[in-house]
């Protein structure tokens, strides 16, 4: 009893007897370049595709693809997420993209490589991993 995705097809009558069927998956606008945000943690890998202004177009994560538990943080799950985002970007007509990577998980590189597999050129890769500077006061040592 999992999730089911339903796609609908629309029919248009052009002339007498001619019928044109279009899928509901056709893109509304063509985009040639965008930004790919890869958030790779130890537990999950999330990939988001946005246009140059930063507006989110689509996203996916290894959890949303059906991976559960410790399998979400694996490089294989990250490559599957990159393939999903790459195929959606290919449908939109994306030619090049910038990549912003956050986190230290094992899915950083596989997600980017799977995205590049669809013929999309990567113009730049930026590491935006947050680095703590000093942070909160550590706990006192335990007395036994």
Q: What is the mean pLDDT of residues 61-90?
A: 93
Find, among 58, 83, 62, 91, the residue nearest to 74 by Cα. Answer: 62
Q: 25-49, pLDDT tens digit by residue? A: 566 678 899 999 999 999 999 999 9
Count of CB atoms situated within 10 Å of the CB of 7: 7
Q: DSSP character for 41?
A: -
Prediction pTM value: 0.74
Tens digit of pLDDT for each residue in 3-26?
A: 666 655 555 555 565 555 544 556
According to CATH, the superfamily of the domain at 32-127 is Ribosomal protein S11/S14 (3.30.420.80)
Nearest 5°: the CA angle 116, 86, 62 is 105
Give the start-to-end residue ranges of the domains of the chain: 32-127
């Amino acid at each position: 009893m999992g999730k089911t995705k339903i796609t609908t097809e629309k029919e248009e009558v052009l002339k007498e007897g001619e019928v044109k069927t279009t899928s509901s998956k056709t893109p509304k606008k063509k985009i040639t370049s965008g930004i790919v945000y890869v958030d790779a943690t130890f537990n999950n890998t999330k990939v988001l595709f946005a246009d140059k202004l930063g507006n989110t177009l689509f996203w996916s994560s290894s959890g949303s693809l059906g991976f559960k538990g410790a399998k979400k943080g694996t490089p294989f799950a990250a490559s599957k997420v990159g393939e999903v985002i790459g195929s959606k970007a290919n449908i939109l007509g994306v030619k090049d993209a910038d990549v912003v990577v956050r986190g230290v998980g094992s899915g950083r590189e596989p997600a980017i490589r799977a995205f590049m597999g669809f013929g999309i050129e990567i113009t730049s890769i930026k590491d935006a991993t947050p680095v703590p500077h000093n942070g909160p006061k550590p706990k006192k040592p335990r007395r036994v």
